[in-house]
Amino acid sequence: MVLVLTALGGAGLAVAADRPGNPVQRPELTYRADTAAQPWIDHLAQDLDAVHRDATSLSSAGRDVLGALQSLDPAGANAALAAGDQTSAGIQTLVAGLHFTLAGAHDANDRWRLGPETVSLFDQIDGAISAADQLPANWAALAATGRTVAGLVDALMGHDQAVFQATTAGRDGRWADALALLRGAAADALGIATAARDQLAAGSTVDTLDDLLAREHAYDDALVALYQYLAGGGRQSGDQFSALRGAVEQAQAALPGDNTALVVVTGEAAGLPIADQLLAMEEVHGAINDALEAVNDAKFGVPPIDDGAQATPTP
């Protein structure tokens, strides 16, 4: 009987010894490697947290750009763009450092020695760093649109100011001054606006902008024709004068009475492209946040998830 029990026990031990080890059921197999990897994970998480904070600032700058453009505040948009440029450059430096640290971590830690949780953490951190690589490009695309639209708004507002000065000169009988303003500052501003329109047409809706530019050109041309006639000694009466003045009045009546059209223009030109880049940046932000939460949960533990109605947290 003793011999039989010994044989059965030996067989059981043999079966147990023959069972493949796995780190889930036997974490002691990877304990040393996991412990050695932890400082690398902590270092990566610390640097990734800095990127997380800067990514939040970058998104905030992007929203400030859009808000300033919608408020027809090109100076405010340019200030937000400058702040975003600085943040984006900082992110690029941080992400380059993260790639360097991650490469060192992979060199120092054999992946096959690590437990599945540690491997998963490295994979999530790697994914978050790869996602963060896109932030400078996202910002560059947003900033390009923002600067073009800011330049457009500035040009159209400058055009209106030059035309106002020209009509003021015209009312004073200073025809030469009026023509100089219309052919100089006003025409230059419309040229800048038209160039901005051509840049925006590739990725934005410019129908309202095209209509606005056409109306502005028509008004300017009508004013030039009238002032040329008067500067050449034309009388302020008669059929020709009436026709020229009628053309000015008709063109003026076709212009927007306020800035509503310009607000629509900025919304069409900047709204969707900037929103797309902000969404892409938020997705990166989410990937970084998920990786940081995974590191925190692995380090400090989280209550188990129980699908039952009476789930009881672990004390």
Q: 96-139: per-residue pLDDT in tens? A: 999 999 999 999 988 888 999 999 999 999 999 999 999 999 99
* Per-residue pLDDT, 112: 87
Confidence class of residue 8 from pLDDT cuts 50, 70 and 90?
very low
Cα–Cα dist 149/223, whole Å: 27
pLDDT greater than 80 at residue 22: no
Cα–Cα dist 42/39, whole Å: 5
pLDDT greater than 90 at residue 303: no
Confidence class of residue 9 from pLDDT cuts 50, 70 and 90?
low
pLDDT greater than 80 at residue 54: yes
Q: pTM for the whole thing?
A: 0.81
Both structure tokens of 258 = 């306020």
- Return the domain boundaries, the chain: 35-141+272-299, 151-270
Q: 237-267: per-residue pLDDT in tens? A: 899 999 999 999 999 999 998 889 999 999 9
CA dihedral 219, 148, 162, 220 (to 10 degrees): -20
Confidence class of residue 17 from pLDDT cuts 50, 70 and 90?
very low
Q: What share of the chain in percent tops pLDDT 90? A: 77
Q: Are 272 and 112 a contacting pair, CB within 8 Å?
A: no
End-to-end CA distance of the chain: 47
Confidence class of residue 157 from pLDDT cuts 50, 70 and 90?
very high
Q: Would you mind telling me the total number of residues written for the chain in this entry? A: 315
Distance of CA 260 to the CA centre of its chain: 25
* Per-residue pLDDT, 308: 43
240 half-sphere exposure, CB direction, 13 A CA radius: 10
Average pLDDT over the chain reads 88
pLDDT greater than 80 at residue 190: yes
CATH (residue range 35-141+272-299): 1.20.120
Q: 202-234: per-residue pLDDT in tens? A: 888 899 999 999 999 999 999 999 999 999 999
Confidence class of residue 270 from pLDDT cuts 50, 70 and 90?
very high
Q: Are 246 and 104 a contacting pair, CB within 8 Å?
A: no
pLDDT greater than 80 at residue 306: no
Instruction: List, as one string, the DSSP characters of the chain.
Output: -HHHHHHHHHHHHHHHHHSPP-TTT-GGGTHHHHHHHHHHHHHHHHHHHHHHHHHHHHHHHHHHHHHHHHTT-HHHHHHHHHHHHHHHHHHHHHHHHHHHHHHHHHHHS-GGGS-HHHHHHHHHHHHHHHHHTTHHHHHHHHHHHHHHHHHHHHHHHHHHHHHHHHHHHHHTT-HHHHHHHIIIIIHHHHHHHHHHHHHHTTTS--HHHHHHHHHHHHHHHHHHHHHHHHHTT--SSHHHHHHHHHHHHHHHHTS-SSSHHHHHHHIIIIIHHHHHHHHHHHHHHHHHHHHHHHHHHHHH--PPP--STT-----
Closest CA to 273 of 202, 193, 196, 198: 202
Both structure tokens of 308 = 């039952």
Mean pLDDT of the region 33-61: 94
pLDDT greater than 90 at residue 30: no
Per the model's pLDDT, the better-predicted residue between 291 and 27 turns out to be 291
Cα–Cα dist 94/97, whole Å: 5
* Per-residue pLDDT, 310: 42
